[in-house]
Structure formats: structure tokens, C-alpha cells
Amino acid sequence: MLEESTPYTYEWKISRLSSSEDESRYSDMFTVGVYKWKVYMRPRGDSNNRGKNLSMFLWLYNTEDLASNEKVNVRFVIRLKSQNNVVLRQPEVLTTWFSRSIPIYSRLSCH
């Protein structure tokens, strides 16, 4: 069964981001409907793009609350903005399924 959700915007302000930084960062948890989410960032890219770009991921944080066969269909955009609130990268709107076995989805990579 598909349920409609109210559109939701979460803004994560990241201070002092360095291009040489290697440590992963996680946003605070935010809730949309009954689902808890985080945004996960790798400043120097993921394992496929190590040292080449910044990678960001949407993470369904409470997968243990899902039934074993339950899936969550999500439509989302991850935007990267400058300190002046200018969009640096405008990716397409994505739609994907999250589940216990697929809790993280990545689509934003910036060089």
C-alpha cells in the first residue's frame, strides 16, 4: 500500500568543510512521517570516487522498525548550497525504494 506524505525540507548547515578533510559527517536525525532519516557525507568521495569529489547519501536510519518485506518509496533531492545560499549543484529529483537491506542511497557527487 502506498501512502502519500507531506513534502518536507531538511536543511543541514555544515561549518568549516575542507577539501582535504577525510572524516565522514552525519546530519542530525530528522523525522518524516514515521521514518527517521540522516544525511551522510564523505568530503573526499565514496569508495568509487575516492579523493575526486564530495559524496552525499540519504540514509533511512530506523530500518530495524521495518517489517522484513516492507519497503519505503521516497522521492527526494539533495542540493548543495554555498554559504550565500546559492545552489552549487542542482541534481534531478530521484525516486527510490529503501528497505532493511537497502538503507542508504547516494546520488549527489560534486567535483
Cβ within 8 Å of residue 102, ≥6 positions away: none
Question: What dihedral do alpha carbons 47, 51, 78, 40 form, nearest 10°?
Answer: 60
Write out pLDDT tens, residues 34-65. 899 999 887 766 656 566 677 788 999 999 99
Element housing 97 (H / E): strand 94-99
pLDDT of 12-23, one tens digit each?
888 776 655 667
φ, ψ at 56 (rounded to 5°):
-125, 145
